[in-house]
Amino acid sequence: MKEWLRAGTIIGTYQILMRIGVSGLGEVYRARDDYQNIDGALKLLPGSLGWTEESARRFVEILKTSPVLQHANISKVLDAGIDQEGRPYVVTEYVRGQSLDEIGIGLARTMAEKIHVAMQIADALEYAHQQGVLHLSLKPSNVMLTATGGVKVLDFVVALATQVALMLRGPNAPKIKPTIGSARYLSPEQVRGEKPTRQSDVFSLGTVCYELFTGQLPFSGRTAEEVTVAIVRDQPMSLTAYLPDAPVGLDEVILKALEKTTEARYQTAAEFAAALKALIEDQCELQFVPADALLKDKGTFKEDLKLFWEGTANFLKEYLIQIAVGTLLMLMALGSGMAYLYFQKEDRQFRLPTEVTPTTKATSSGRVTTLALSPSGTSLAYVTENNGKRTLLYKELAETRETVLAVSPDVDIKGVTLSMDGEWVYYVKDAAPAGELHVCSIRGGQSRKVLSNIAGPVTFSPSGKEFAFVRLNGAESQLVIAPAKSETQVRDKLSAMVMVPIPKGTPLADATPTPTPTAKGVVTKYVIATNLSAESQRVLLTRNSPQFILPQALSWSHDGTRLAAFVKKPHNDLVPEIVSFNVQGGEEKTLCPAPGPEVEGLAWLGGDEALLVNARALTNAQRQVWRINLTSGKTRALTEEHEDFSGLSVSLDGIKALSIKTSRSVSIWLGQDDKAKELTNNFDDGMSGLAWLDGQRLIHASRPGGTDTLWVTGVDGTPPQAVKWARFGGVDIQRFPSVTRNGNQLIFEGVREGQSALYQADLSDLSKSAKPQVLTQSGAEFFPQVDPEGKAIYYTTLVNGRAALMRSDLAGGAATTLLDGKVWRCVLSPDGQQLAANYFDEATGKWKIIVFPATGGQATAMFDAPGNGWRALGWMPNSQSVLYLVAQNGAANLWQQPLPGGPPAVVTSFTRHRLYDFAWSPDGKQLAVVRGRSNDDAMIIEKLK
């Protein structure tokens, strides 16, 4: 199995963070330079190319002495060097976006968007040409679209440096395997081995634009040789053959860039851009300022260009495929850091920010499970978990010293909150039959019980005298307000008292209440309220099933008049609404929907004009921190889409927040215990689904750049290979694959511009590009399952806000509703006869597991299990037991619940690491598990407004 660089590896001044791209000729990693506080895309050339000391040195020298390109549409070269094994590397600007070839460049965008993209590429080429730099390898994989719809052209100079350096290796150097990818975008003069000019880049841009507008290539062939012959010999078809509604003049503009002779083409990229602009000048506002087109002599860099192209025509003709085509693909095909692409649409409710909010680590244990920030924003309390033992700790943010407040060896601690004065820590112990609220001083000492029957954390009133929480009683959910302090009046014989305040951090057991004079000889004492009676607790309101107040987060408004909570309502049983309740009468007002179905944190921001929410959106694989403007209704993510955040706590002034960031190292393993064989070593492999193609191969989701795409991995150690897709317009996110028994038909969930749908593809020949066909149209279909014979699919969808389980025949016809509402993430039994799914039981307000016939009808079983609606489910090979995950004592294992009845039993015997998903091989003899480590630490998030 290919061993990729581990996170933490140091190369030069850069520390590897994660792998973001791979091909047969190179590796790309996201890396950080802590000295300069910047992230870059580090591209490492493999040692298998036979680098000599001279060739590696020349590669670095060319990159470091070439002109510096400072342009908005060009990815900058930051650094270059040679690692300890003699392999050269280059670090380029880390770009948040996706390359054109990854998202598909055919039919997905509007004509104005496509022309805008083409004009930005031309602008980048024009600027580079003025600096004396030709690209030489322009193609879709070297063009990134950023989260704002902007363009970044990658790898200027790198193509030249790579080729010149490889020519210095000598005649016995390893040959480069022929490739077809770059050959498609070469100009005729490059194919003939002639000296290229700026018109060569114009031709390559013309090819990219032809494909961008039509989804087809102007010159085709089964091999690189056939493609290059077509480039020199054939004329491209008219664009109207593929695009009947093309704007008048588009055909003429693009085909002029593809003329065989340089004289007949646009002489500059600026001329090409001007022609494009003229097409839409009256249709939309686009700004493009063409620059003067002069190719300047840049000394040693120009000499390198001359050295390479002059006197090597015969060499190139003989080794065109081995060198000129193959090496051009090396670095540029991978691109820089890839993330989920959103074109900004006015009607999109949730969009990614153009600049994420900076975060700083506040803890370093890697085992944080819950946290609370003090109202002053200067300290925090948090819980860590180690082999099943929970520890409650306290620390000042400016210090490293921690104070242990409480230890729980066998009961979970959750729902931590700091009092308004920052002196006391309230926490919930998950005791049976219901939670217990305890309080202790920030400096430790004895903890005391405050009350029983509490389901989540408390939130304090601005005065700190009261707190609120949610209580669950069967089918009821109650919003309760209780006193945080008790008040007593005491007569003292001293007529003049000296007031001595409680020192900060005094343990509860040793605290002397602070007296307040009320009259001569009488003082009022405020003490922390403990052992509260039922009479002292005021039930503000009660909601009965099917409406529930979710207990995991409450927030008291800064003006003291309202409480904000997540509420599940009958019309939308998946995505909760955020509702405010008047603290006096309980009158409610719906503020907005939550950003997604999985919610964990909620807080008012200063002035109560906005909310901060921790949630996972329907189409996102990760949980994020969101800011919701209650005036405009706009919602934006404050954290990066490929990073996972849970929990939320905000300072009183709304300037600072804390959330737990989860960093995973997750792979796919084969086996049922600690002797399991690791099949992959990538980034979140299988986190968003896996399935067996046959007894030797798995298809799974992977996140090489933070976005789920589908890959195939062999159990024999064959490294993962991305599924090849035809350029039909692209699917941004590909996940949750399901395969027929013969492995030929694939059904998967695809996300495009924020809309989720189900797709079908033929995988009978993985050497060919698959052509996915969309199966559903509503934009909200999830978690597909195909029956073994490929006749029907089962999936979850949203119908008027309610989650429903559907069945649809692949041969056609209307979909059938099997279960209306309250169901999420189903899984089909191996025999195709039963379905298991996560089911929200309105009677108890808990997510349970339900089993029922695949044809529909009454449930045959329903039982409790750890987790929520997102938990992974499965079946034993005999279809007689349902599988689910249980985490205990620092490790997760598979458990089975026999459907005939009886107690659950453990299936695997892992003693470390977490499990996220699993799949049995078709013959039931091999178990693939998604397994790995995670680091969970508190992160400070600033710039919230």
Supply the CATH number for residue 92's domain.
1.10.510.10
Contacts of 703 (CB under 8 A, 6+ apart): 621, 642, 683, 684, 687, 688, 709
pLDDT at 281 over 70: no
Give a yes or no: residue 938 inside a domain: no
pLDDT given at position 943: 78
pLDDT at 485 over 50: yes
pLDDT confidence of 487, banded at 50, 70, 90?
Answer: low
Segment 420-444 shows an average pLDDT of 90
- Between 519 and 602, the more confident residue is 602
- Between 330 and 157, the more confident residue is 157
Segment 554-559 shows an average pLDDT of 96
pLDDT given at position 35: 72
pLDDT at 173 over 80: no
Q: Which of 871, 888, 916 is the last residue of a domain?
A: 871
If asked whether residues 656 and 752 sit together in one domain, one would say no
If asked whether residues 556 and 643 sit together in one domain, one would say yes
pLDDT given at position 283: 44
* Rounded Cα gap, residues 409 and 386, in angstroms: 9
Contacts of 677 (CB under 8 A, 6+ apart): 669, 670, 671, 715
pLDDT given at position 199: 95
pLDDT tens, 384-416? Answer: 988 778 999 999 998 888 999 999 887 889 899
pLDDT at 534 over 50: yes
pLDDT tens, 577-609? Answer: 999 999 998 899 999 999 988 899 999 997 788
Give a yes or no: residue 945 inside a domain: no
Segment 9-18 shows an average pLDDT of 85
If asked whether residues 649 and 765 sit together in one domain, one would say no
Q: Which of 818, 843, 871 is the last residue of a domain?
A: 871
- Count of domains for the chain: 3
pLDDT at 458 over 80: yes
If asked whether residues 649 and 711 sit together in one domain, one would say no
Give a yes or no: residue 270 inside a domain: yes
Segment 701-711 shows an average pLDDT of 79
* Rounded Cα gap, residues 188 and 262, in angstroms: 9
pLDDT given at position 301: 38
If asked whether residues 408 and 543 sit together in one domain, one would say yes
* Rounded Cα gap, residues 54 and 161, in angstroms: 13
If asked whether residues 89 and 225 sit together in one domain, one would say yes
Give a yes or no: residue 409 inside a domain: yes
- Between 695 and 131, the more confident residue is 695
If asked whether residues 335 and 366 sit together in one domain, one would say no
If asked whether residues 147 and 277 sit together in one domain, one would say yes
pLDDT given at position 690: 96
Q: Which domain holds residue 681?
A: 672-871
pLDDT tens, 851-899? Answer: 999 999 899 999 999 988 889 999 999 999 999 999 887 789 999 999 9
Q: Which of 628, 662, 696 is the last residue of a domain?
A: 662
If asked whether residues 404 and 361 sit together in one domain, one would say yes
352: tokens are 């990614």
pLDDT tens, 333-374? Answer: 323 222 222 222 222 232 333 344 557 889 988 899 999 999
Whether residue 293 contacts residue 267, with contact meaning beta carbons closer than 8 Å, is answered with yes
Mean pLDDT in the chain?
80
Give a yes or no: residue 500 inside a domain: no
pLDDT at 329 over 50: no
pLDDT tens, 736-774? Answer: 999 999 988 999 998 876 678 899 999 888 777 777 888
If asked whether residues 129 and 151 sit together in one domain, one would say yes
Give a yes or no: residue 894 inside a domain: no
Give a yes or no: residue 545 inside a domain: yes
pLDDT confidence of 514, banded at 50, 70, 90?
Answer: very low
Task: List own/partner pairs for 529-533 with CB under 8 A and 24 or more apart.
Answer: 529/450, 529/482, 529/483, 529/484, 529/485, 529/486, 530/439, 530/448, 530/449, 530/450, 531/448, 531/449, 531/450, 531/451, 532/450, 532/451, 532/482, 532/483
Q: The CATH number of the domain where 372 resides is what?
A: 2.120.10.30
If asked whether residues 315 and 247 sit together in one domain, one would say yes
* Rounded Cα gap, residues 642 and 708, in angstroms: 10
pLDDT confidence of 270, banded at 50, 70, 90?
Answer: very high
pLDDT given at position 288: 30
pLDDT given at position 620: 72
If asked whether residues 476 and 614 sit together in one domain, one would say yes
Give a yes or no: residue 524 inside a domain: no
pLDDT given at position 193: 82
